[in-house]
Structure 1
Amino acid sequence: MPLGTLDRTPPPFFKQGPSALSKLMVCSALALFLMVADARFRIAQPLRAVVATVLYPVQWVAMRPVVAARFVATYFESLEAAQASEAAARRKLALQSLRANQVEQLEAENQRLRKLLELRGRVATRATAAEVLYDAADPYTRKVIIDRGLAQGIEAGSPVVDEYGVLGQVTRVHPLVSEVTLVIDREQAMPVLNARTGARSVAYGDPSGKGGALELRFMAGNADVQVGDLLTTSGVDGVYPPGLPVAKVLHVERRAESGFARIECAPQAMVTGARHVMVLAPLGMQMPERPAAEEAAAPKKGARK
């Protein structure tokens, strides 16, 4: 056999190369280099985009069962919610229709009684529509910012209401925006009237700082207050027009060791999610001016003889 035809390569048993540890270190260094380079220079971004594009059809096919299941579940949930909303809207419409049928008769009776008693007619309240922009930055108060200010004729002290009841009161006015203090703020107080009994009281914001509730203070322990009573504005403060819904009594605690009851109320307005509101002109601004007090004539002292 010629010597040129012999295989001169060593057998596999005698082959030597880099060790496994060396290969691990080289691969680790290369991986670390690629991670740093990708984080700093985004060198793998084109490759990542290509891979994502190639794999998108596979992902789309794999997600179809999940999307279909979600669609079916959302469909039935939306259907139930829509049916419940329709039923609630029908009930509300029926109630409003019943009240609307009684409005004309009540208005006519009211006018006759006022003419009979020679009472002044009710003051028409001027209203301005506004939108809530955001909550105030102070975490220790409950205030919101609306998109109406001095340029739109907003005045400090104006009541703010939504479709459910009294939301708060304008406490600071800027040229284009205004700050509204909500009824649940701990510094807020409002004269209210119990629609069931006609008793007057004062509702204060939640003193615990948690927000979301009101409290009737200085009510006697034997006061006629029940859970579910509706509290409305009394109109005696010259700010809020009378008859606006404020809150409903949520809990009554009659304590034997104290002469006063602890009464917790839930606000009627959407104090945590109001979007569109109405700013009413303060009632005192529309009332007729008080007659000037006549100066009492001082008695003249008689001259001594």
Structure 2
Amino acid sequence: MTLLIVTGAMLVATSPAEASKQNTNWRIKIKSAAVVHGPRVTLGDIAEFYGDLPAQTRADLSAVELWNAPAKGRKPVTVNRQKLQVILQHYLGEMVRNCILPSTLSVQFGGKVLSEEELTRTVVKVLTPQAEKAGGNYKFREMRVPDHLFFEDSMDSLRVVIPQALKPGPNTFRMEVVSVDGRVLRQLSGSCFMDLWKPVPCPVRPLNRKEIITPDLLTWKNKNMAHLGDRVWDGKGGPWRIKIPVGTGQPIMLSSIEPAPVVSKGDKLSLVFQSKHLKLTVPVEALEDGGVGQTITVRNLQSQRKIMATVVNAQTVSVR
């Protein structure tokens, strides 16, 4: 009863109800998780004040006591929105209309709590150096972290562990609550999606099957590697030719190219047979395309026999 009288006196003195009618440019946002250090939960413990409220009014509202604090060392106490609405209506009256309420509020005695926003910032701080090493322009989205995380001791800290190298697309990580002496007290999993835009080679015009890729046929465009991964050609190596037609401006995938042959079907070549004591050279005709080191079928132009030979260069194949 004394609390109600004091609270009522405070409301009259600061005229917040009257102020709420004349000035609605303020809000009281109730947190989804909070830590208290006294015997009673106050509005200041669980609320954030926004907008045009006089400093004294904020101070008076912050001091309003709501209910008994949970016992030290016990699990956080959770209050749902409906019950929270009733409690705030009782103490704040019409001012409750300016309150933004969460679906639930969890309160712990002592320790500390990190909000979802704070957890996200901590994770991003750890992920950023690896993302920068990947080059290009990156963005994290679909961040999956808890709504809040309580720590029993204010000296406990949060450690973020990435089990595998960060890559474009979905990634997982582990959050560890670590004591001041280095012990892991609790582990939680999280995930996020990383978009990574990097320049990749794309045709300036449609490229057809068996067409040799030359620099003048390419331009570089930024593409999201999260949707391409390691399936896209990086523009290196070669020479290459098109195996599957690629449209204008489309990224060239590894599956769309193959090594350009140094020998083409119908080419006249020299077939070299070499053993420890003998070396023979005969003219042959290539019956299929082939790159250096590949085995192709050739026809001996003297005997007309077909032989499997390995491509050495553009003029020579060999058998052993």
The question of a shared fold, defined as TM-score above 0.5 by the shorter chain, is answered with no
TM-score of the superposition, structure 1-length normalised?
0.19
Tell me: higher relative CO, structure 1 or 2? Use CA pairs within 8 A at least 6 residues apart.
1
Structure 1 or 2, whichever has the larger Rg, is 1
Structure 1 or 2: larger strand share?
Answer: 2
